[in-house]
Amino acid sequence: MSDLKPIVRIPKEASKVREGRGFSLGELKEANITLQDAKKIGLRVDVRRRSVHKENVESLKSFMKELQKAKKKAEKVAKKVEKKKEEVAEERRDKVKEAPGEMVPKEGAPLTTLKGLGPKTAEKLKEVGIESVEELAEEDAELLSEATGISVQKLSSWINEAKQLVKEKK
């Protein structure tokens, strides 16, 4: 839910203002927001109220501008993350071309065998080309963090655990 709260004037005492139950349909219309969009965003709407207050319309317009800015920023971050994922995948492909014998995908323990690494995180790692514990043991935590959005601390602990598992197998 949004923290945006409408104001309403008390009819008998026009100078008094209180917090309303929601924005009126007229206020939404003046701010170019549909009822469906308002519900998606989490704005409170009072369909019974007929009054239109300029303060509410202005706060809705400024809220929508801020929402658009946040949406654009989120899209930029998503593009950067996607670009980083592609760079890491490309780097892994280059390693395979340089040393094909060393980087052949190993049939080994699945990533979910590591403590605290679940299926969703394993999927993020698979997107950048890491499919087993053995492959994870050879990676750099900081580079992976930039590509996947997983914290360096978590990745470091999983990489250390993966290295221990690889040593135990040998």
66-95 pLDDT per residue, tens: 999 999 998 988 888 888 878 877 777 776
- Taking phi over 0 as left and psi of -120 to 50 as alpha, with beta for the rest, 24 belongs to beta
* 114 closest CA partner among 141, 137, 85: 137
Reduce the secondary structure of 52-110 to three states and give it as a string.
Answer: CCHHHHHHHHHHHHHHHHHHHHHHHHHHHHHHHHHHHHHHHHHHHHHCCCCCCCCCCCC
pLDDT of 106: 46
Q: Where in the chain is the domain with CATH 1.10.150.20?
A: 105-169
Token reading at 152: 């360096």
Residue 17 has what pLDDT?
Answer: 86
**pLDDT at position 2:** 64
Q: Are 141 and 152 in contact (CB under 8 A)?
A: yes
Fold of 105-169: DNA polymerase; domain 1 (1.10.150)
Q: What is the pLDDT of residue 7?
A: 85
> For the chain, which residues score pLDDT lower than 50?
100-106
Per-residue pLDDT at 24:
94
Q: Return the structure tokens found at 55.
A: 């303060």
Burial class (CB in 10 A: 0-12, 13-18, 19+), 131: middle
